[in-house]
With several copies, the nearest count.
Chain A
Amino acid sequence: MASRVQEEDFDVGAEIGALTRGRTEIGGVAVFIGVVRDFIEDGTEKAPAEIRGMTLEHYPGMTEKMLSRIEEEANSRWPLLGSLIVHRVGRLDPGDNIVLVVCAAAHREDALQACSFLIDWLKTKAPFWKSEQTAQGEKWVKAKESDDALAARWEEG
């Protein structure tokens, strides 16, 4: 179990390898990689605006705490044999990696569900904010209701 916030890019193959190497009790590894898209998909815009770059701000201290807590929650819900969250901050270009989530388990369904859960919760509970650079200038990204709906799937009760 590990989570990191960093400016540098991450190497997906190396991160997965470090988590799984020599761990022969692992049967399945689920991975999600979030990437900077080059268009805004704001429901209110007529045509998608071209994104030239993005800046990710976060709340140092609270971010790390929330990532650990979300990861603990995933590990309490599914029998994971390994998990990792890496989230980048700072200036990013289209095509750049933003976030990496890796979950390893004996059974594929546990790994896949935990991975899906982690990215949904991270999107609504971890203090990161994106601002996008377009030809019209810089603009803070609005939170999406669809993200709340996806995260709510995992609420108990």
Chain B
Amino acid sequence: MKLLYFAWLRTRIGCGEEEIDVPAEVATVADLLRWLEGRGDGYAAALARPDLVRVAVNQEFASAETPVTAGDEVALFPPVTGG
């Protein structure tokens, strides 16, 4: 699975992009966020405020229930602030 991190999620996790082999039991966005939190302090800090984390699966906004699979591009980022 290709994971992308933006803005302060990127700076807290310490990288902008990584390829990860995610365990088979990770079936949804919610599963993925829970599993990522256990990967280390940077991840835990980045994901500590779930209300401030937005997710896109294959470049489409996703919810906690959105399914994820090995070939997906999943992006994590804070609420957008452009314009």
Direct A–B contact in complex, judged by CB atoms less than 8 Å apart? yes
Residues of A within 8 A of B (CB): 34, 56-59, 61-62, 65, 87, 98-99, 108, 119, 122-131, 140-144
User: B51-83: which residues lie under 8 A (CB-CB) from chain A?
Assistant: 56, 59, 61, 75, 77-83
Known contacts A57-B7, A99-B83, A119-B83; decide if A129 and B59 are in contact (CB<8 Å). Answer: no
Total cross-chain contacts (CB, 8 A): 71
Query: CA of A134 to CA of B52 in the docked complex: distance in angstroms?
Result: 23
**For chain A, what secondary structure do more than half of its interface residues adopt (helix, strand, loop), or is it mixed?**
mixed
Would you call B6 and A122 a contact (CB within 8 A)?
A: no
Contact with A along B1-33 (1 / 0, CB 8 A): 000101110100000000000000000000000
B10: A residues at CB distance < 8 A: 57
A143: B residues at CB distance < 8 A: 78-81
Would you call A62 and B7 a contact (CB within 8 A)?
A: no
Would you call A140 and B7 a contact (CB within 8 A)?
A: yes
Would you call A129 and B7 a contact (CB within 8 A)?
A: yes
Nearest Cβ on chain B to A36's Cβ, whole angstroms = 12
Would you call B83 and A62 a contact (CB within 8 A)?
A: no
B56: A residues at CB distance < 8 A: 59, 62, 127
